Amino acid sequence: MKKITTALCLITLITVVIFACKKEDKTTTTSSTTTSGTTTTASGTTTSGTTTSGTTTSGTTTGGLSASTPLQVTYTLDGTNYTYTDGSNFEMAANGSAISFTGSTGTANYKAYFVNNLSGNIHFYLEKGSLIFNGTSGIAPNSNFDSFFPNGSVPYGSITGNGLDLFVDVGGFVFRSENGSQAGSTFAITDTLTQNISGTHYVKFKATFACKVYDSNGQNMKTITNGLVVGRFKNM
């Protein structure tokens, strides 16, 4: 009888130990899964999706462009990469000019370019023309100015029409788009944002481009590819 009682006690003790081990294993697995999986996913979704991208506080941007997006141009010229960023050495400058007035109608072109602050040389230049507006001063109404830079393709050509002129500095020599054929070339505004800075109205833009540029005689040609520019046009 004593042996049977002892055996039963041993069986009971073994059962308790096994049950306790299984319970401990289950608890460890549950806490591990819950803590690492759900928390990481939730914080990732909230931060990257809604807060950072897709929301702007002003203007007509469709995403990817904001007031804090750096002003910069990058492109490849005959296999060599170039990058100019608004900062200590380079400045992204912008201005406009009224070409002429006929009665109450004005015509204006708008320029955006990257200039070397040390040498004063312009290394990348864009000029878009021509905006025709009603008025007798050199400044177009902001609504007309804004609508002059819609998203979409912009043709290269004479700025006295609705064309775009682009030039780059190559070792101190100017190579320009208007000096030769632009068959197969592209320039497309992909995003815009209107800004008011110290009382002056701007359109900040992002654009991609590829084109051919020529020397002053139109004899020597260079090819620009992979172009991306974030710049500003100024209503003045």
- CB neighbourhood size of 146 (10 A): 19
CB 145 within 8 A of CB 201: yes
Instruction: Enumerate the domain spans of the chain.
Output: 1-52, 72-234
Nearby residues of 105 by Cβ (< 8 Å), 6 or more positions away: 132, 133, 134, 135
Q: Which two tokens stand for residue 181?
A: 């054929």
Of 113, 108, 111, 196, the C-alpha closest to 145 is 108
The predicted model gives 76-90 an average pLDDT of 96
Quick one: pLDDT band at residue 57, thresholds 50, 70, 90? very low
Quick one: pLDDT band at residue 59, thresholds 50, 70, 90? low
Q: Fill in the amino acid letter for 107.
A: T
Helix (H, G, I), strand (E, B) or coil at 29: helix
Helix (H, G, I), strand (E, B) or coil at 226: strand
- Tens of pLDDT, residues 157-166: 988 888 999 9
At 98 the pLDDT is 73
At 96 the pLDDT is 86
Quick one: pLDDT band at residue 136, thresholds 50, 70, 90? confident
Between 158 and 179, where is the model more confident?
A: 179
CB 181 within 8 A of CB 218: no
At 172 the pLDDT is 93
- What are 120's strand-pairing partners? none
